[in-house]
Chains A and B, each alone.
Chain A
Amino acid sequence: MSAETVIATRSLTKRYSEVIAVNGLDLDVRRGEIYGFLGRNGAGKTTTIRMLLGLIRPTAGNVTVLGERIEPGQTRVFGSVGYLVESATAYPNLTVRENLEIQRRLTGAPANATAQSIERLGLGEYADRRAGRLSLGNKQRLSLARALLHAPKVLVLDEPANALDPAGIVEIRKLLRSLADESGVTVFMSSHILAEVAHLADRIGIVHEGRLLEELDRDELDARARAYVEVRVNDPNRAAVLLRDAGFTQIEYTADGDGPTVHVLDAADRTAEIARVLVSAGLELRAMTPTREDLESHFLRLTGEDVGDERAAADKTGGA
């Protein structure tokens, strides 16, 4: 763990009787970075976040935030941590301002922090509206305002884009980016929305069934993304044979709503040659798309989501 490590977990494990929600997680989140914690529903994201905040106790392993061990009785470090866990919540009988004022008092933030937080999250119009009468999106803004109110060094956000409209998502994205870039705030955010993580995170941890499958820097993600040419023809089996004979060795079948397709890997600059091989053999070439695998495809491949589909497609077309 380097001096720049702000959040560290070691062998972090949470077990609920037979279910292992988080399994031996080792994480290092560096100062000033936005770390995207990506996983499908039930992957262990929220359980991990709860352990980072001391809301639940690990079955094994430990968590350190800003050099302080998270354990019962720990309070000091939380003056530097802002958080939003799962759903946005507030006291429904209190106004936006009154809800934030409670947070201000409990974190010891200065008197003007409430007004600043309201302005920063665009809640001015709703400042005197009861939280129980806010839309879901504004409730989410209120929860984010609460998390940011005391100018924390670390933000732990569970699905921060939940319930926000597209403009709100862009706004929050810019806000988090500027906090990280200009104020050196470290952001640990979980999400199952791949596009959100892809747009914002400097580093991505992919968690599946409680285990960290992969950790990627943005550059690494770009480097690992597979390039291929997606080919749609009337006879995918024959196309595969022809392409192999022509020297294309990495060929995969897959299927989507429009039927089976052939993926020719590492051939993005050889589209003309692919077309010539197929057309000269009399095949009906319906579409040919050079594609670069995005985070979504990478994620689905890593978590095994598309394995079944590929296998089914391979069965249909006689195997690759």
Chain B
Amino acid sequence: MFGQVLITEFAKLRRCKVTWATLGGLSLGPLGIALFMWIVREPGRAAQLGLLGTKASLSGIEATWPSFVYMLTMIVGVGGMLLLAFVVAYVFGREYAESTAKNLLALPVGRHWFVIAKLVVAAVWWLVLTAVIIAESFAIGLALNLPGFSAGLAVSAIEKALLAAGISYLLVPVIAWITTLGRGYLPPLAFAIASLALGDVFSHTGWAVWVPWSIVPALIGMVGKPVGTLPVGSYVVLAVTFAIGVAATIAQLRLADNTQ
């Protein structure tokens, strides 16, 4: 039965503009980095751009592969957390926005299968987005002919980006739960922004690796030096957050009144 549910969940994305919008949105990230790199490398021509040139030169960023890779992990890690929240809010929230949730709740299919199938859809969607962004970034980096490239750097960058993407994904069931609780798009998006701010606050503290929403900022070094390797406890915290989110979403669909 789960196979059929999964097929229908993917079928719902047909002719769906949101999939392209998320791809377009995230694709702008590497292009933005490329523009930054170009400005830093071409200060004379960048000066003609006025304020933008000034900001770029003030940022202290070098037009090198290590800088490029650092910014890529920022995009996947921080931008990705927001975008992934958007994806999950859409996958779950559309059933309420389009008033179709009631059509799923009295079928010969356990409601938990819908939760799991939607999380799989979000995972595949997120994986495709991440892969496209990584490929796009490397293509742009090579086209800019930045100095400092090495195979080791490339592997480490891909590993870090995938790790950040994976950690971000472990936080999405909580977003799914808030979407089913709030029955719409706004509550999960508000929560995503709030959790990003919370993560930023805690990433300044010694608790950074223990608070689920500050683990990605700590990993990529959003405000300080990257932590390098995360302690096992961080993964336990993330796994527990994931499990609680899944259980809460299933319980919400199974037990709460649907008065849509």
Q: Do A and B come from one complex?
A: yes
Instruction: Show the binding face of A for B, using Cβ within 8 Å.
Output: 50, 53-57, 72-73, 75-76, 78-79, 81, 83, 85-87, 89-94, 98, 101-103, 105-108, 130, 146
Does B8 contact A72, Cβ atoms closer than 8 Å?
no
CB-CB under 8 A from A54, the residues of chain B are 105-106
Does A106 contact B4, Cβ atoms closer than 8 Å?
yes
Does B103 contact A55, Cβ atoms closer than 8 Å?
no
Bound Cα distance A78, B106 (Å): 6
Does A56 contact B258, Cβ atoms closer than 8 Å?
yes
Which one of B53-61, B94-102, B172-180 contacts A?
Answer: B94-102
The range of chain B's interface size is: 20 to 34
Question: What are 13 A-to-B residue pairs whose CB atoms are below 8 Å?
Answer: A50-B258, A54-B106, A75-B109, A89-B102, A91-B98, A93-B12, A93-B15, A94-B12, A98-B11, A98-B14, A101-B11, A106-B108, A130-B15
Bound Cα distance A83, B17 (Å): 30
Bound Cα distance A72, B8 (Å): 23
B96 to chain A: closest CB distance in Å? 11
Q: Is the interface of B mostly helix, strand, loop or mixed?
A: loop
Of B99, B105, B107, B255, which one neighbours A107 at CB under 8 angstroms? B107
CB-CB under 8 A from A89, the residues of chain B are 98-100, 102-103
CB-CB under 8 A from B109, the residues of chain A are 75, 106
Does A83 contact B8, Cβ atoms closer than 8 Å?
no
Closest 3 CB pairs of A and B: A79-B108, A56-B257, A53-B106
Knowing A57-B257, A106-B4, A130-B15, say if A81 contacts B106 (CB, 8 Å). yes
Knowing A89-B103, A94-B15, say if A108 contacts B108 (CB, 8 Å). yes
Knowing A79-B108, A94-B14, say if A50 contacts B254 (CB, 8 Å). no
Knowing A91-B98, A93-B16, say if A78 contacts B107 (CB, 8 Å). yes
A104 to chain B: closest CB distance in Å? 9
Knowing A89-B98, A92-B98, say if A106 contacts B105 (CB, 8 Å). no
B258 to chain A: closest CB distance in Å? 5
B231 to chain A: closest CB distance in Å? 39
Does A53 contact B108, Cβ atoms closer than 8 Å?
no
Q: Is the interface of A mostly helix, strand, loop or mixed?
A: loop
Bound Cα distance A232, B230 (Å): 91
Bound Cα distance A78, B107 (Å): 5
In chain B, positions 231-260 with a C-beta closer than 8 Å to chain A are: 254-255, 257-259
A53 to chain B: closest CB distance in Å? 4
Does A75 contact B103, Cβ atoms closer than 8 Å?
no
Does B12 contact A102, Cβ atoms closer than 8 Å?
yes
Q: Which of B16, B103, B110 has the most CB of A within 10 A?
A: B103
Is the C-beta of B5 less than 8 angstroms from some C-beta in chain A?
yes
Bound Cα distance A50, B256 (Å): 12
Bound Cα distance A211, B259 (Å): 20
| Contact bitstring B9-37, A, C-beta under 8 A = 1, else 0 | 00110111100000000000000000000
Bound Cα distance A91, B15 (Å): 11
Bound Cα distance A190, B7 (Å): 33
Does A55 contact B102, Cβ atoms closer than 8 Å?
yes
A164 to chain B: closest CB distance in Å? 19
Bound Cα distance A76, B104 (Å): 14
Of A76, A86, A102, A146, which one neighbours B11 at CB under 8 angstroms? A102
Taking A53-B105, A90-B98 as given, write out 8 further A-B residue pairs in contact, using a Cβ cutoff of 8 Å, ordered by the A residue number: A72-B254, A78-B108, A87-B99, A93-B15, A94-B11, A94-B15, A102-B12, A146-B103
CB-CB under 8 A from A101, the residues of chain B are 11
CB-CB under 8 A from A83, the residues of chain B are 106
Does A105 contact B8, Cβ atoms closer than 8 Å?
yes
CB-CB under 8 A from B102, the residues of chain A are 55, 85-86, 89
CB nearest to B253 among chain A residues: A72
Does A91 contact B12, Cβ atoms closer than 8 Å?
yes
CB nearest to A21 among chain B residues: B259
| Contact bitstring B121-159, A, C-beta under 8 A = 1, else 0 | 000000000000000000000000000000000000000
Knowing A87-B99, A105-B4, say if A93 contacts B14 (CB, 8 Å). yes
CB nearest to B3 among chain A residues: A105
